[in-house]
Structures are given as structure tokens and as C-alpha cells.
Amino acid sequence: MIGGKTKLFGLVGHPVAHVRTPQAMNALFEQNGLDAVMVPFDVPPADLSGALGGLLRIGNFEGAVVTVPHKMAVLELCRDLTPRARLAGAVNVLRRVGEDAFAGDILDGEGFVAGLTTAGHSVAGRRICIVGAGGAASAIAVALAEREPARLTLINRSRERLLALHERLASRFGELDVGIGEDVGGHDLVVNATSLGLRADDPLPFDPERVGPGVLVAEVIMTPEITPILHAATGRGAAIHPGRAMLDGQLEAIFRYFSADGRIGRRQA
């Protein structure tokens, strides 16, 4: 039951009709007997700063999950950032610090790796190609780079974002073989980390003829569960890893981030 001591959390995105994180977080709050609730907030890009500023003025507002298209823009609205959020250039969780500021972290990459691990797939020593250079791709790239792959190749439509991500990774992981490419062929793990596949008329994010048996094709898109590129990859004999695993992999991490330091009280019986 929501009461006067309930802590408020938001999911800030645009649009938000399809989101699933609030349902999952509310179930975790309930299961753990914590007095908190998460509500989706549909915030257009032009209103992001004003909306977050307003939320900080609400005394029992504690934090938010941040999703498309705000993950990069929200970075500059945070007073404190973790090193991995700085490196990824993106934030997907905010926590109130004091009266008037937010701390930010990015858990997307950890969620992606946790999903792979749960499904029995390893990262160390593998040749990995990431297609995309937005918020999700950057977070995944940082988390994978930390796990010592044999090689990391980055591909993206816009050159500017691609070069910026490459530069950040190359300067932080000097020992890592990180490059820019155009062909997903020659890799053990290929990740679609673009938003292509969400809409029925989207083009494929890469040429499926370049994958085959022995290759794992992983996805970030959650709906549909089997995206056109996963379908095509299966037809080529490749193994597949749907996008839902990434969210499942990070729900626990988001819950821990929000409930750390006993900041949420227990629900009254």
C-alpha cells in the first residue's frame, strides 16, 4: 500500500508506453518488503532538465531509471558520476544526493554481461563486434572491454559517435585490441546494440550473410523477442541471445543501487 512514507522512483523516457522496468522493480520492492514505488514519466527531450529539477524538489523522490532517448543528455545533469558512466558517456540510473543533486551510474553493460553469463556464454578471449555507438552500445563496450576479449570491433552509422567511443575505449584500455570496422564477419560474438529491430520496417543492423555456425548473435532489442536479425542469424546456423536477457541481468543491480544504505524503509504490515 502506498502511504506517506513511501519513497518515489521514476522511469524517465520518451515514449514510455512499452517499458517493463517499473513493473519488475515494483515486484522486487514488494517481494523485499520495501516501502517504495516506481512510476513511468513520459518526458520529451526539451523538458528533461526541467522535469529532473522538479523531481528533486519533491522530498520523497529518491531516484530514477533513465531510458531512451535521455541516457546521454542526463550525464551533464549529474553532480557525481561513476568512472564507467563517464567512460560510456551515458547514465541509466540516478540517485538523489542531498537536497538538490543527482549521482549517476550506468548498469546496462553489467546487465548485458550478466545475461550472457547466465546463458552460459563467456567473453574473455573472444573476438567481439558491437554494432551501434549510442548509450546502450557504449555501456556494453565498456563492460566487455573490462572482461579481456581478444578483440573489440566497433561499427556505427554515424562516424562522429563511433570515433568518440573508440577514442574513449582506446585511451582507457591501452592493452586492448579495439578497432573500427564495417564488417561483422570474423568475430565470435556480434552484438546488435542499435535501435534497429524495434519497428517492423527497420532495415537489418548488419548483413546476416556474414555470420554462421560458431558465431553468437546477441541483441539489445526486447520486443519482438526474436528480431529480424536474430531470425536471419538462426537461418544462417548462428546461435542467438535475445535482448530480454540484458534487462533480466540488470534488474537486481538496479534494485541494489536504489536500496543501498537502507535508504528505503520497510513496508508497514
Ligand X SMILES: NC(=O)c1ccc[n+]([C@@H]2O[C@H](COP(=O)([O-])OP(=O)(O)OC[C@H]3O[C@@H](n4cnc5c(N)ncnc54)[C@H](OP(=O)(O)O)[C@@H]3O)[C@@H](O)[C@H]2O)c1
Catalytic member of 70, 71, 95, 168: 71
H helices of the chain, in order, are 21-31, 48-56, 83-88, 108-118, 135-145, 159-172, 228-235, 244-259
Q: Which stretch binds ligand X (CB under 6 A): 23-31, 47-55, 95-103, 219-227?
A: 219-227
Binding ligand X (rule: CB under 6 A), the pick from 88, 220, 229, 232 is: 220
Residues 6+ apart with CB under 8 A from 230: 217, 219, 240, 242
Q: Between residues 8 and 198, which has the closer beta carbon with respect to ligand X?
A: 198
Closest separation in Å from C-beta 35 to ligand X = 26
The contact pattern for ligand X, residues 161-190, with x = CB under 6 A and - = no contact, is x-----------------------------
Question: Order of strands, edge to edge, in the sheet holding 151-155?
Answer: 178-180, 151-155, 127-131, 189-192, 216-219, 239-241
Measured between alpha carbons, how far is residue 241 from residues 3, 143, 171, 187, 236 in Å?
41, 17, 30, 15, 14
The contact pattern for ligand X, residues 221-260, with x = CB under 6 A and - = no contact, is xx--------------------x--xx-------------
- The site for ligand X (CB under 6 A) is made up of 68-69, 71, 108, 111, 132-137, 156-158, 161, 194-196, 198, 220-222, 243, 246-247
Catalytic residues, by residue number, are 71
